[in-house]
């Protein structure tokens, strides 16, 4: 009971098609590969039922946030709305990180579509989870050797 990126794409796009108010063309394969990589806790290249369920619950909650900020129903939110959406999702970032998110996920008009929005949130969630896993004493500081750093960042691009 595991699914790969292509299967995940089919599942997500079948669901997204039913939500006409999202005005999206669906998830790209590369986005689903990223989701798999970020949610794949055992390194199998696939996600199992529990990993999928965790991803699905997150996507549903983030979808509500996206819809809240997509007030004009264009299928996108702007970079300012993205800052508020990130905060509403419980992520606390600095201005430099908000700028990085905009550079990475926004289009040339500084708008972020649903696919990019979800990919950004999946990445933030996974990176925070990874950090907390390494922060054994809870002091907000982790120490990684180069191999740990590469393992953490290469697969979860």
* Surface-to-core class of residue 64, CB atoms within 10 Å of its CB (0-12 exposed, 13-18 middle, 19+ buried): exposed
Would the pLDDT of 106 be above 60? yes
- Pick the residue with more confidence: 118 or 126? 118
pLDDT (0 to 100) of residue 97: 95
154 pLDDT more than 80:
no
pLDDT, mean of residues 13-25: 81
Q: What tens digit of pLDDT does each residue of 59-104 get?
A: 999 999 999 999 888 889 999 999 999 999 999 999 999 999 999 9
Mean pLDDT, rounded, of the chain: 89
Question: Would you place residue 20 in the very low, low, confident or very high pLDDT band (cuts 50, 70, 90)?
Answer: confident
Q: Using CA atoms, how far apart are residues 98 and 86, in angstroms rounded to an integer?
A: 9
Where do the domains of the chain lie, and which CATH numbers do they carry? Answer: 2-154 (1.10.238.10)
Segment 142-156 mean pLDDT: 82
Please tell me the pTM assigned to this model.
Answer: 0.84
Is the pLDDT at 157 greater than 60? The verdict is no
The whole-number pLDDT of residue 155 equals: 60
pLDDT band at 131 (very low <50, low <70, confident <90, very high): confident
- Residue 51, Cβ density class (10 Å: 0-12 exposed, 13-18 middle, ≥19 buried): buried
């Amino acid at each position: 009971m595991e699914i790969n990126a292509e299967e995940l794409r089919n599942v997500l796009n079948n669901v997204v098609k039913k939500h006409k108010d999202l005005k999206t063309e669906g998830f790209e394969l590369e986005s689903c590969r990223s989701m798999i990589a970020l949610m794949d806790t055992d390194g199998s290249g696939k996600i199992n039922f529990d990993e999928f369920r965790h991803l699905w619950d997150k996507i549903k909650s983030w979808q509500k946030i996206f819809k809240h900020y997509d007030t004009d129903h264009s299928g996108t939110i702007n970079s300012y709305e993205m800052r508020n959406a990130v905060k509403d999702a419980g992520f606390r970032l600095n201005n430099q990180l908000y700028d990085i998110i905009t550079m990475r996920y926004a289009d040339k008009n500084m708008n972020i579509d649903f696919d990019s929005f979800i990919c950004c949130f999946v990445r933030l969630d996974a990176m925070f989870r990874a950090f907390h896993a390494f922060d054994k004493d809870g002091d907000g500081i982790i120490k990684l050797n180069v191999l740990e750093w590469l393992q953490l960042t290469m697969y979860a691009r």
